[in-house]
Amino acid sequence: MSTLPVYRWRLAPDGYATRRQLRARGLRPGGQDVAAQLERPRRRRPPLVAHLYRVDLAKPVRPMTAAKWAALARANAARRTCPECRRDAGYVIPPTLGMCVPCDSRRSA
């Protein structure tokens, strides 16, 4: 087992990127293992660690299919539907309430 190279925060060489940086470029790790780590020191706590991937081995992001778009639309609709009155609230229902605001205010009144 080999150890990963560790770089200090903002001092990683070119050719490495985090998942978010890859995504911003329209790429994904594509099954490759973590190539290096970034460490950001903190006071009285362990350092923050970010995994780095090689940009030259990254693959393009797969495009969304019609079925994936439809599934995403259904999931978002379910998050907006009140389980009490079964209406679309027009916003994502807060998990702390578990129902739309009008239903919650009727319950507490």
Tell me: pLDDT of 2 over 70.
no
Domain boundaries, given as residue ranges, for the chain: 6-60, 66-108
> What's the mean per-residue pLDDT of the chain?
93
Q: Angle at Cα 38 formed by Cα 35 and Cα 41, nearest 5°?
A: 155
Tell me: pLDDT of 31 over 60.
yes
The fraction of the chain above a pLDDT of 70, given in percent, is: 97
CA distances from 92 to 78, 83, 86, 102 (A): 9, 12, 13, 14
Task: For residue range 53-66, list pLDDT tens digits in order.
Answer: 999 999 999 999 99
User: Confidence band (pLDDT; 50, 70, 90) for 107?
Assistant: confident
Say what the pLDDT of residue 53 is.
Answer: 97
